[in-house]
A and B are shown apart, each in its own frame.
Chain A
């Protein structure tokens, strides 16, 4: 356990007064989640939340969501988490999903373990770049540039879709590599490695980061810029539906009968791969549409007017991390108004639930109801959202973004 004093001080003047108690608790929770260095981590490591039902665990995109909260006020802590996160990358460039840390009460977990087959969404370059920009520290980019290039190679070797784009293994093996466990897009097994809208957008992010960081570090060849341009053209041309004003997977985009309105379709907008007009439609016709994702606690993970909508994990409930990324995308396309709307509503509802239950929930009721009523994974023994869960609750970063969007 650590005390993150600068973070605790920072939240005392952040956002609306009605959020303060919750944000103070979140700052304390970051400290409570931080453990002394142990194998395989060189630095103290922050678990994804002490209430996680399969914890203690580190990594996945959860670690990056936690990083978003601490990167500005506790830069050394955040930097160490980023280096811990990249330290388990294998030689071939694969970054594993969660790292399962030892548990005294479980003999099957005597040593740290992680998958060497299943990766996770590589959203980390967005966070790393924001950190480097804020801290004026290109040194960190120099340190993480090689892992970035190796990760690109791994995705190119192992997750290239036919005929173009990239995929997550979920569509073939239900490994939940996409992080969207049991999501509506995966109800059917696909007959081949077809392009996933999220994986393709995330690869675009890796390519653009490689190009930008290469330029900053003086090592660019233009290779990744060209790859990014080709992938962007594919996403804009093949994955956007004029009917829904939203992005979809390659196998469903032209099939209205099997084209779910799943929130993952926002990713091309979040990473900057959408055209201006596509982004406008994603925001106005979808993220701000009460019939789709603009719920009392935005944004729902499935459109509320969808037959597939359920009060179950990624099939409807709201994950604050996704609200953060949605707002990030809105800001990227100059829509501070939309970002503020999404963030303020989500923070208000989260604070209400904190006032009622005294905890931070893994995911939330999209209409502002009790998280205890939501289902998680009905075929397991953990079928309600976890409490004290940081990995999908960058609430401090959300409050900061809300504040910045006003300025």
Chain B
């Protein structure tokens, strides 16, 4: 059988979403959120200047 190889997950197609995929998804959400947070911040900063 193809055996677990010291956690080298990249070699492993998995039947469930892998932890790395979950981590990646969380990072994407954070990046999106950060982008929006920055936009909102810029809006308020611009409003304040005006």
Residues of A within 8 A of B (CB): 54, 57, 60, 62, 88, 90, 96-100, 106-118, 120, 175-177, 179, 181, 380-381
Determine which residue in B5, B15, B16, B19 has the highest number of CB atoms from chain A within 10 A of its CB, and name it: B15
A115 touches which of B5, B7, B13 (Cβ 8 Å): B13
Q: Is the CB of A381 within 8 A of B6?
A: yes
Interface check B39, CB cutoff 8 A: no
List residues of chain B with CB within 8 A of the CB of A97: 1-2
**Once the chains bind, are B2 and A175 in contact (CB under 8 Å)?**
yes
Please tell me if the beta carbons of B2 and A109 are within 8 angstroms of each other in the complex.
Answer: no
Of A90, A116, A176, the residue contacting B2 (CB under 8 A) is A176
The reply to whether B7 and A113 contact each other, CB–CB distance below 8 Å, is no
Closest 5 CB pairs of A and B: A108-B7, A54-B4, A114-B15, A113-B14, A176-B2
Contact between B7 and A90 (Cβ–Cβ < 8 Å)? Answer: no
Q: Which residues of B contact A (CB under 8 A)?
A: 1-7, 9, 12-16, 18-19
Determine whether the beta carbon of B1 is less than 8 Å from that of A60: yes
Query: Which residues of B are found within 8 Å of A99, using beta-carbon distances?
Result: 15
Contact (A100, B1) CB under 8 Å given A115-B14, A116-B14: no
The reply to whether A176 and B7 contact each other, CB–CB distance below 8 Å, is: no
Please report the C-alpha to C-alpha distance between residue A111 and residue B12 in the assembled complex, in whole angstroms: 14
CB–CB B15/A96 < 8 A:
yes
On chain B, the residues within 8 Å of A176 by CB distance are 1-3
Q: Are B13 and A109 in contact, CB atoms less than 8 angstroms apart?
A: no
Please, which residue of chain A has its CB at the minimum distance from the CB of B8? A108
- In the complex the two chains form, is A113's CB within 8 Å of B1's CB? no
Do A113 and B18 have beta carbons less than 8 Å apart?
A: yes
> DSSP class of B's interface residues: helix, strand, loop or mixed?
loop
- Complex CA–CA separation, A118 to B9 (angstroms): 15
Hey, which chain A residues are within 8 Å of B9, CB to CB? Answer: 108
Chain B contacts for A98, CB-based, 8 A: 1-4
Residue of A62, A100, A116, A179 touching B13 (CB-CB under 8 A):
A116
When A97-B1, A120-B1, A176-B2 are in contact, do A110 and B13 touch as well, CB less than 8 Å? no
B19 touches A90 (CB 8 A): no
B16 touches which of A57, A113, A117 (Cβ 8 Å): A113
A60 to B2, CA, bound (A): 10
Decide: A108 near B19, CB < 8 A? Known: A114-B14, A116-B13: yes
A54 to B12, CA, bound (A): 14
B9 to chain A, nearest CB (A): 6
Residues of chain A within 8 A (CB-CB) of B15 are 88, 90, 96, 99, 112-116
User: Could you give 12 example pairs across A and B, Cβ below 8 Å?
Assistant: A54-B4, A57-B4, A98-B3, A99-B15, A113-B15, A115-B13, A117-B13, A175-B2, A176-B1, A179-B1, A380-B5, A381-B6
Q: How far is the CA of A381 from the CA of B8 in the complex (A)?
A: 14
Closest CB in chain A relative to B5 CB, distance in Å: 7
Chain B residue with the shortest CB-CB distance to A97: B1
Q: Which residue of B lies closest to A382 (CB)?
A: B3
A57 to B12 CA separation, bound complex (whole angstroms): 15
A118–B19 CA distance with the chains assembled, in angstroms: 20
Q: Indicate whether A100 sits within 8 Å of B2 (C-beta atoms), given known contacts A114-B15, A115-B13, A116-B14.
A: no
| CB-contact partner of B3 in A54, A106, A111, A114, under 8 A | A54
Which residues on A sit within 8 Å (CB–CB) of B5?
380
> Hey, which chain B residues are within 8 Å of A110, CB to CB?
19
B2, B4, B19: which has the most chain A beta carbons within 10 Å? Answer: B2
Q: List chain B residues, Cβ under 8 A from A88.
A: 15
Which residues of B lie under 8 Å from residue A179 when comparing CB positions?
Answer: 1
A110 to B23, CA, bound (A): 13
A90→B12 CA distance, assembly (Å): 17
Tell which of A62, A113, A117, A181 has the most Cβ of chain B within 10 Å. Answer: A113
Cα A87 to Cα B1 with chains together (Å) = 19
A106 in contact with B2 given A90-B15, A111-B16, A115-B15 (CB within 8 Å): no
* Complex CA distance for A177 and B12, rounded to whole angstroms: 14
Of all chain A residues, the one with the shortest Cβ separation from B4 is: A54
Question: In the complex, what residues of B have CB within 8 A of residue A90's CB?
Answer: 15
Supply 17 further A-B pairs (C-beta < 8 A) apart from A115-B12, A179-B1.
Answer: A54-B4, A88-B15, A97-B2, A108-B7, A109-B4, A110-B19, A112-B16, A113-B12, A113-B14, A113-B15, A114-B15, A116-B14, A117-B13, A175-B2, A176-B1, A177-B2, A181-B1
